[in-house]
C-alpha cells in the first residue's frame, strides 16, 4: 500500500479514539450532536466533536474501512504538511456540513448523532470525481460515469437508512441524510480545493534527453 501518511493516520485515529471513548463515564454521549441544539443555541462544540465518536466497534470499523478506500485518492492531490492540513480541512468541513444539514432537517430531534460517516462520505464524493484522473483534477459534475455511480450509491445509502440495517449497526438509527449531504459537499468542494491548493506543474517543463533533429 502506498497511501499517504495523513490518510493512514486518519484511518488509525478512528479505532484509537473509540478506544478512548469507551473509557469516558458517559461513553462519549456528551460529545454527540443533537439537532435541537441548533434552535437552543448550544450546538457548539457537538457539531465538531460528534464526528470523532462512534456508537460501537462495528460503526468504527465500517467508517475506517471506507476511509481507507477513499481517503488516499484525495490525500495524494495535496502532498506535504500543507497538503495534509488542506486534506483534513476538507474532511472536517464535509463532516460539519453533514451534521448541520441533518440537524436542519430534524430541528425538533434530541436524538444524539455521532460518527464520522458524513465526513467519510465527503471523501467518497471527492474521490469518485478523481477516478482515472491520475492527478489531473476532478471530472466535471456532469460526467455521466460520476452521476451514474453517485445515483447508485445514494440509492443504496437511502435504502440502508430507511430499512434501518447495516452490519454492526443493529438497533441504531442510521442518519442516511447526513451521508448524502456529506457526499454532495465533498463532490462539490474537491473542484475548488484542487484549483486552490493542488501543486501546479511548472509552466515550462524540460523535455529531457531530446535528440537533435536529423537533417
Per-residue confidence of the chain (215 residues) as pLDDT tens digits? Answer: 689 999 999 999 999 999 999 999 999 999 999 999 999 889 999 999 999 999 999 999 999 999 999 999 999 999 999 999 999 999 999 999 999 999 999 999 999 999 999 999 999 999 999 988 777 899 999 999 999 999 999 999 999 888 766 555 555 688 999 999 999 999 999 999 999 999 986 543 444 444 434 43
**pLDDT value of residue 164:** 65
**pLDDT value of residue 68:** 97
The grid coordinates of residue 42 equal: 448550544
**pLDDT value of residue 167:** 57
**pLDDT value of residue 165:** 60
Domain range for 164: 5-197
Q: Is residue 173 part of a domain?
A: yes
CB distance 60 to 11 below 8 Å: no
Q: Is residue 205 part of a domain?
A: no
Q: Is residue 161 part of a domain?
A: yes
Number of domains in the chain: 1
* CATH of residue 182: 1.20.1540.10
Q: Would you mind telling me the total number of residues written for the chain in this entry?
A: 215
**pLDDT value of residue 82:** 96
Q: Is residue 139 part of a domain?
A: yes
Helix, strand or coil for residue 117?
Answer: helix
Q: What is the C-alpha separation between 186 and 85, in angstroms, rounded?
A: 16
Q: Is residue 74 part of a domain?
A: yes
Q: Is residue 137 part of a domain?
A: yes
The grid coordinates of residue 70 equal: 477513499
Kindly list the distances between the CA atom of residue 189 and the CA atoms of 33, 82, 87, 214, in Å, as whole numbers in the listed order.
Answer: 23, 17, 11, 50
What's the whole-model pTM score? 0.90
**pLDDT value of residue 86:** 98
Q: Is residue 96 part of a domain?
A: yes
Nearest to 126 by CA among 193, 60, 79, 179: 193
Q: Is residue 207 part of a domain?
A: no
Burial string for 25-50 (b: 16+ CB within 10 Å, else e) reads eeebeebbbbbbbbeeeebeebbeeb
Start-to-end CA span in the chain (Å): 49
Amino acid at each position: 500500500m502506498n497511501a499517504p501518511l495523513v490518510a493512514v493516520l486518519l484511518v488509525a485515529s478512528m479505532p484509537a479514539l473509540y478506544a478512548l471513548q469507551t473509557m469516558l463515564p458517559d461513553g462519549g454521549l456528551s460529545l454527540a450532536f443533537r439537532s435541537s441544539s441548533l434552535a437552543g443555541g448550544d450546538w457548539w462544540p457537538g457539531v465538531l466533536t460528534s464526528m470523532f465518536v462512534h456508537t460501537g466497534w462495528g460503526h468504527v470499523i465500517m467508517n475506517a474501512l471506507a476511509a481507507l478506500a477513499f481517503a488516499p485518492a484525495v490525500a495524494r492531490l495535496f502532498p506535504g504538511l500543507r497538503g495534509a492540513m488542506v486534506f483534513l480541512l476538507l474532511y472536517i468541513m464535509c463532516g460539519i456540513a453533514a451534521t448541520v444539514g441533518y440537524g436542519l432537517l430534524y430541528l425538533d430531534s434530541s436524538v444524539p448523532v455521532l460518527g464520522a460517516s458524513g465526513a467519510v462520505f465527503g471523501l467518497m464524493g471527492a474521490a469518485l470525481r478523481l477516478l482515472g484522473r491520475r492527478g489531473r483534477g476532478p471530472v466535471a459534475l456532469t460526467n455521466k460515469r460520476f452521476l451514474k455511480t453517485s445515483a447508485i450509491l445514494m440509492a443504496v445509502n437511502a435504502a440502508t437508512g430507511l430499512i434501518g440495517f447495516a452490519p454492526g449497526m443493529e438497533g441504531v438509527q442510521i442518519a442516511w441524510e447526513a451521508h448524502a449531504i456529506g457526499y454532495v459537499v465533498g463532490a462539490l468542494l474537491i473542484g475548488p480545493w484542487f484549483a486552490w491548493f493542488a501543486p501546479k506543474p511548472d509552466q515550462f517543463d524540460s523535455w529531457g534527453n531530446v535528440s537533435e533533429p536529423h537533417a
